[in-house]
Structure 1
């Protein structure tokens, strides 16, 4: 069984990014839509059982930054952040997003 989680952290404000909407897609198939909670996580994502394949998380970050009063450019530098990744046959995959208005990073967490 393979599971997935994510954690979005706002590095500009130094706190979890609450209220970030995102989707999980497998190819052209929408597998999940969610919004991060007050801790920057979406616990319901872990309920999905995933198979090996290629996936994409797409985070809607411009709306989040606007909600924080951090619209620093028009149009925003980052509208969405897509993260393309592969999943193997078993295990847990954690895909964190470290976010600021002008940049982001990700990695495979635990």
Structure 2
């Protein structure tokens, strides 16, 4: 069985989404959503991003590098368009390429 999402009541009103692995272990908790419909939309968005999202190393010493897992490194293609922005990494240098670094394999 794959992991699953749970919609739960948020302590301060609204709803949160928990992502659990196949054994019920907690993987992630969402931000607060005002309605269940918004939580369901957040799950749909998360599914899309998780299936297509790149890995950015924003840890100490990571320098915002893209990481390609070794299992996919042999046939992975990373395409960064000139209009792509990574606000967490570019620190005000959008459009000058400073937020985009080389990819590395794990």
Q: How high is the TM-score relative to the length of structure 2?
A: 0.24
Q: How high is the TM-score relative to the length of structure 1?
A: 0.23
